[in-house]
């Protein structure tokens, strides 16, 4: 594995030996970002609860032995403060969250305590530390006040959220804006930005209420994939797409002119990847080569937005970032990963590195790899 890491790190001089604090590193997106940072030769400290799924990508990739792992609840302000001081980070990525809409209906207070209160704990620790250079707070495309409009939401649109999860993400954006103006406005302070991404897919996710996870379980058990809301339209993208956005944004924040990037940013796919849940399910079935769909009718479901997409013009123009894998490609790489895992056809640890390397090569060819 080390020789693979060294090979990929040749692409990068910026991230080599950078001290990075990554919250939520045991989750799906956090594990992918941790692996990518390690392969760029960064010095990574993780702050998170233990993995909450079995299997978990964090354990499959054996990340615990490759970074400084701390099992800390983001709601524990003193523990968060201690890890920030001990790790002495130059750059912080904040992914720790309660990420599920349906669970937020069951645990609304926990959702707000984690997503809003946890973010405040981290920002206060960074403020008191005083020498962190850049921080990217990851929220969600669901932070916007969703009016079911046909056009994408822009960064200046109103925050909102119907359900406790979405509203907690909107509130987190308000917290970030407030702390930026109140405490991080001096050019010598930490440059603070937020990132809002669409629905991500990729290998290694076993979270509840995820269509890819539901599909994989169904096809492995030879059951139909049950769709609760087949007409819901979402901006689907491979997990590596927004992660490149976060990495690019962090590097911009770290630069001499970093203050002008201390804002909110959208990272979503192009319009042709904004499709219905049923369309995505059909693509998953076609890519795997088997499976079938079942529909759930007349069942009481908690409210979820039916239509949601982002306008990413700002990221494309000012960060030189855009999606490079369309939804068909994202689905194929996702299916390849799960097939390798369940059919033991290849080493998924190596496959994860190969997909990162392939994505970086594609991004470099597209002229958007900036590190």
Structural domains of the chain ordered from first start: 2-200+237-271+312-327+347-365 (3.40.50.720)
Q: With bands split at pLDDT 50, 70 and 90, how would you rate the model's confidence at 229? A: confident
Q: Kindly state the average pLDDT of the residues 33-42.
A: 98
Predicted TM-score (pTM) of this structure: 0.94
- Nearest Cα neighbor of 261 from 91, 127, 114 is 91
pLDDT in the model for residue 3: 43
Q: Answer for the pair 176, 190: CB distance below 8 angstroms, yes or no.
A: no
CA–CA gap between residue 212 and residue 191 (Å, rounded): 35
Tens of pLDDT, residues 80-133: 999 999 999 999 999 999 999 989 999 999 999 999 999 999 999 999 999 999
What is the percent of the chain with per-residue pLDDT over 70, rounded to a whole number? 94
Which range, of 131-135, 146-150, 312-316, averages the lowest pLDDT? 146-150
pLDDT in the model for residue 298: 46
Largest pairwise CA distance in the chain: 58
Q: Is the pLDDT confidence value at 292 over 50?
A: yes
CA–CA gap between residue 303 and residue 208 (Å, rounded): 17
Q: Kindly state the average pLDDT of the residues 48-67.
A: 96
DSSP states along 137-179: EE--GGGB-----SSPBPTTSPB--SSHHHHHHHHHHHHHHHH
Tens of pLDDT, residues 337-346: 999 999 887 7
Q: Answer for the pair 215, 291: CB distance below 8 angstroms, yes or no.
A: yes
Question: 348-365 and 28-39 helices cross at what angle (nearest 10)?
Answer: 70
């Amino acid at each position: 594995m080390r020789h693979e890491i060294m090979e990929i790190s040749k692409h990068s001089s910026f991230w080599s030996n950078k001290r990075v604090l990554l919250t939520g590193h045991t989750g799906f997106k956090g594990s992918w970002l941790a692996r990518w940072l390690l392969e760029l030769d960064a010095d990574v400290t993780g702050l998170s609860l233990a993995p909450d799924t079995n299997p978990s990508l964090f354990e499959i990739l054996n990340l615990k032995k490759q970074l400084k792992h701390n099992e800390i609840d983001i709601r524990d302000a003193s523990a968060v403060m201690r890890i920030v001081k001990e790790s002495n980070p130059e750059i912080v990525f904040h992914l720790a969250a309660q990420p599920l809409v349906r669970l937020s209906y069951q645990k609304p207070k926990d959702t707000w305590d984690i997503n809003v209160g946890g973010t405040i704990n981290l920002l206060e620790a960074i403020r008191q530390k005083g020498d962190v250079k850049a921080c990217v707070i990851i929220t969600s495309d669901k932070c916007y006040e969703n009016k079911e409009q046909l056009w994408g939401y822009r960064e200046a649109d109103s925050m909102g959220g119907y359900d406790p999860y979405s509203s907690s993400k909107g509130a987190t954006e308000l917290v970030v804006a407030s702390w930026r103006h109140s405490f991080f406005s001096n050019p010598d302070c930490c440059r603070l930005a937020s990132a809002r991404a669409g629905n991500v897919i990729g290998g290694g996710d076993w979270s509840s209420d995820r269509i890819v996870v539901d599909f994989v379980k169904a096809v492995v058990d030879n059951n139909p994939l049950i769709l609760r809301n087949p007409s819901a339209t979402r901006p689907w993208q491979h997990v590596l797409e927004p992660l490149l956005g976060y990495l690019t944004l962090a590097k911009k924040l770290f630069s001499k002119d970093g203050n002008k990037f201390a804002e909110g940013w959208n990272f979503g796919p192009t319009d042709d990847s904004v499709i219905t849940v049923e369309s995505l399910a059909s693509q998953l079935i076609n890519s795997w080569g088997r499976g079938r769909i079942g529909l759930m009718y007349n069942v009481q479901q908690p409210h979820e937005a039916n239509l949601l997409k982002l306008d990413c013009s700002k990221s494309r123009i000012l960060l030189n970032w855009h999606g490079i894998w369309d939804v068909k490609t994202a689905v194929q790489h996702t299916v390849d990963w799960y097939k390798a895992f369940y059919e033991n056809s290849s080493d998924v640890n190596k496959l994860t590195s190969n997909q990162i390397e392939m994505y970086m090569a594609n991004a470099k060819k597209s002229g958007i790899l900036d590190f």
